[in-house]
């Protein structure tokens, strides 16, 4: 999937920036904390302006899940659309495309078997780190795509949930994973330990503001091996919220050996 050519089409709007010491998760949270315009649903015209010199545009954005991650990665690495295309063959990969990249990546510590995806697959909850990417693949039914997938940026280490919360399954452990994403479906509400920043009011009778925000998802692991199993969209007690890998596939990936930005300066003059 990684190619060296550049597509003419443009799907992400972000000016080139210098690479920073902060990761995409840090830039995502910084936007969420400071946003004055934080809209959802205008893909493919996805954009984010961080602390822009033009203060009329500062801290404004319109995003969806996958492009919010892509823009945050561009900001952190000083990438342009050209860099994203050179790595992954698309200016603005979809959530399912990111899922496929992570799915075909070697696990953390393994030797790559083919082309470089710039991801390594995380297989155990205890190995999840800040900056990892939670990717969910698309789901197809008899009438076509029933779920388009989703992308979340993990913002911290997982926390084992004790005591466990429904749905509970014998032989498993549960972990709360803090994330940042752009969505119209909240990861919980505003009460308790595992809150969604987009929720206003009480859990019963409140409402969510779609867009970029923070929250928690829950992952399940085999209690002996620690290998990841299914997940739930939030850490909320429920009897029916569990997604198995067969009903809604997901993979967690770690960005790996990202290349330097492609030089944008003109070549030197001839001698």
Strands 119-122, 250-255: pairing is: antiparallel
Please give the Cα distance from 146 to 249 (Å, whole number).
13
For residue range 39-68, list pLDDT tens digits in order: 998 667 899 999 888 888 999 999 999 999
Find residue 134's DSSP bridge partners.
152, 252
Question: What's the pLDDT tens digit per position in 141-193?
Answer: 888 898 999 999 999 999 999 999 999 999 999 999 999 999 999 999 988 89
Q: Are 71 and 83 in contact (CB under 8 A)?
A: no
Residue 129, class by beta-carbon neighbours within 10 Å (0-12 exposed, 13-18 middle, 19+ buried)? middle
Spatial contact of 113 and 130, defined as CB atoms under 8 Å apart: no
The whole-angstrom separation of Cα 223 and Cα 133 is 23
Percent helix, strand and coil across the chain, each to the nearest 5? 15, 30, 55
Please tell me the distance from the alpha carbon of residue 67 to that of residue 45, in angstroms, as a whole number: 9
pLDDT of the residue at 43: 67
Please provide the average confidence, as pLDDT, over all residues in the chain: 90
Span between the terminal Cα atoms of the chain, in Å: 38
**pLDDT of res. 164:** 97
* Band of residue 260 on the pLDDT scale cut at 50, 70, 90: very high
Beta bridge mates, 50: none
CA separation for the pair 34, 65 (Å, rounded): 18
Burial class of residue 190 in the structure, from the number of CB atoms within 10 Å of its CB (0-12 exposed, 13-18 middle, 19+ buried):
middle
**pTM as predicted:** 0.89
């Amino acid at each position: 999937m990684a190619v060296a050519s550049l597509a003419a089409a443009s799907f992400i709007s972000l000016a080139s920036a210098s690479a920073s010491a902060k990761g995409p998760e840090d830039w995502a949270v910084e936007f969420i904390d400071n946003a004055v315009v934080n809209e959802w649903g205008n893909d493919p015209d996805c954009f984010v302006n961080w602390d822009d010199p033009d203060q009329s545009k500062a801290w404004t954005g319109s995003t969806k899940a996958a492009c919010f991650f892509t823009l945050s990665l561009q900001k952190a690495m000083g990438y342009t659309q050209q860099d994203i295309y050179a790595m992954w063959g698309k200016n603005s990969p979809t959530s399912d495309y990111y899922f496929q990249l992570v799915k075909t990546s070697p696990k953390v510590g393994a030797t790559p078997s083919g082309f470089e995806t710039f991801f390594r697959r995380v297989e155990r909850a205890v190995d999840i780190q800040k900056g990892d990417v939670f990717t969910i693949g698309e789901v197809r039914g008899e009438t076509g795509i029933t779920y388009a997938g989703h992308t979340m940026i993990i913002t911290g280490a997982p926390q084992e949930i004790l005591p466990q919360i429904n749905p509970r399954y014998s032989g498993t452990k549960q972990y709360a994973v803090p994330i940042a994403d752009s969505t119209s479906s909240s990861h919980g509400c505003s009460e308790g330990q595992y809150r969604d920043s987009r929720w206003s009011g009480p859990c019963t009778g409140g409402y969510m503001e779609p867009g970029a925000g923070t929250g928690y998802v829950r992952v399940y692991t085999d209690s002996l091996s620690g290998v990841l199993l299914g997940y739930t969209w939030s850490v909320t007690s429920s009897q029916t919220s569990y997604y198995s890998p067969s009903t809604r596939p997901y993979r967690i990936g770690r960005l790996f050996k990202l290349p330097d930005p492609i030089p944008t300066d003109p070549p030197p003059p001839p001698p």
